[in-house]
Amino acid sequence: MGRHQGRNRLTPEEWADRIAGNVRELARAATSVENRRPEAEALLRLLSERASGALIVGLTGSPGVGKSTLADGLIRAWRAESKTVAVIAVDPTSPQSGGAILGDRIRMQRHWDDPGVFIRSMATRGHTGGVARATSDLALLCAGSGRDLVIVETVGVGQSEVDVAGFADVAVVVLAPGMGDDVQAMKAGLMEVADVFTINKADREGVEQLERELHQLPPRADGWTPSVVKTVAHLGQGIAELREAIDKCRQANFRARRAAALWAKRAEQHAGWSIDHLGVAVRSIDKALGFYRDSLGFDAAHRETVAHEGVNVAMLPAAGSRIELIEPLDDGSAVAKFIAGRGEGLHHVALRTPRFRETVERLRTSGARLINEPRTGAGGHTYVFVHPESTGGVLLELIEEKE
Nearer to Zn ion by Cβ, of 275 and 296: the residue is 275
User: Closest approach of Cβ 301 to Zn ion, in Å?
Assistant: 15
Nearer to Zn ion by Cβ, of 31 and 376: the residue is 376
Nearer to Zn ion by Cβ, of 181 and 324: the residue is 324
Nearer to Zn ion by Cβ, of 192 and 344: the residue is 344
Residue number with the shortest CB distance to Zn ion?
Answer: 279
- CA distance linking residue 101 with residue 52, whole number of Å: 29
User: Closest approach of Cβ 289 to Zn ion, in Å?
Assistant: 17
Nearer to Zn ion by Cβ, of 235 and 307: the residue is 307
User: Closest approach of Cβ 348 to Zn ion, in Å?
Assistant: 6
What does the binding site for Zn ion look like in residue numbers (CB under 5 A)? 279, 324, 350, 397
User: Closest approach of Cβ 341 to Zn ion, in Å?
Assistant: 19
Q: Which residues contact 398 (CB under 8 A, 6 or more apart)?
A: 350, 351, 353, 356, 359, 360, 383, 384, 385, 386
- CA distance linking residue 297 with residue 290, whole number of Å: 10
Nearer to Zn ion by Cβ, of 266 and 381: the residue is 381
The helix/strand count (H/E) of the chain reads as 16, 15
Q: Which helix (H) or strand (E) holds 384?
A: strand 382-386
Q: What does the DSSP 8-state code read for residue 237?
A: B
- CA distance linking residue 40 with residue 131, whole number of Å: 16
- CA distance linking residue 351 with residue 366, whole number of Å: 19
- Is residue 365 within 8 A of residue 166, CB to CB? The reply is yes
Q: Quote the Cα angle for 143-147-151, to 5°.
A: 75
User: Closest approach of Cβ 216 to Zn ion, in Å?
Assistant: 43
Q: Helix 159-167 and helix 128-144: axis angle, to 10°?
A: 30
Nearer to Zn ion by Cβ, of 180 and 393: the residue is 393
User: Closest approach of Cβ 250 to Zn ion, in Å?
Assistant: 43
- Is residue 397 within 8 A of residue 385, CB to CB? The reply is yes
- CA distance linking residue 259 with residue 256, whole number of Å: 5
User: Closest approach of Cβ 314 to Zn ion, in Å?
Assistant: 11
User: Closest approach of Cβ 375 to Zn ion, in Å?
Assistant: 13
User: Closest approach of Cβ 342 to Zn ion, in Å?
Assistant: 17
Positive/negative CA dihedral, 122, 126, 128, 134: negative
Q: Which helix (H) or strand (E) holds 396?
A: strand 396-400
Nearer to Zn ion by Cβ, of 166 and 279: the residue is 279
Q: Is 320 left (phi over 0), alpha (psi -120 to 50) or beta?
A: left
The neighbour count for residue 12, using CB atoms within 10 Å, is 16
Nearer to Zn ion by Cβ, of 189 and 279: the residue is 279
Nearer to Zn ion by Cβ, of 256 and 350: the residue is 350
Q: Quote the Cα angle for 173-66-124, to 5°.
A: 75
**Measuring CA to CA, which residue among 132, 137, 156 is closest to residue 65?**
156
